[in-house]
Amino acid sequence: GILAAIVVPQFTNASNEAVKGAIQSQLQTISSQMELYRVRNQGAYPTLGDGEENNGWGELVGESYLKEEPFNGYTGTSAIVVGGEAAALAGTRDSASGWNYDATTYEVFATGYDATNNALAHEDTFEGAEEEE
């Protein structure tokens, strides 16, 4: 009982930190590979989201850019859908997508992850979509 009360929260916090670290790393990789795609394709960004192969990642996944679909460890999926930051912030651990793509700004956001506060949707420091203006 007492040991579990001490060990479980520490383990949970370590798990959360690992998921957040992986998401941050994935976001950096996605951003750099999208920029590389843009440079190689005369300023055009890849088409991502619903209807594209590779769980929505399209031609960004392959030998030239991302070797595999980025995995969101919080939602447990690599699927990407069209939707901006507000949609990503509204996501939860049970969301069907791991990533949201803003087709206007060409940015990718991790579902259920608040990059500003480095928080997952279930954590106290998570701001969520209501903060967006």
Provide the pLDDT confidence category of residue 6 given band limits of 50, 70 and 90. Answer: low
pLDDT for 131: 44
The identity of residue 45, as a single letter, is Y
| pLDDT of 133 strictly over 60 | no
Specify the pTM. Answer: 0.85
More confident residue, 122 or 33: 33
pLDDT single digits (tens) 47-105? 999 899 999 999 999 989 999 999 999 999 999 999 999 999 999 999 999 999 999 99
Phi, psi (5° rounding) for residue 26?
-60, -45
Instruction: Give the angle subtended at the CA of 110 by the CAs of 37 and 24, to the nearest 5°.
Output: 80
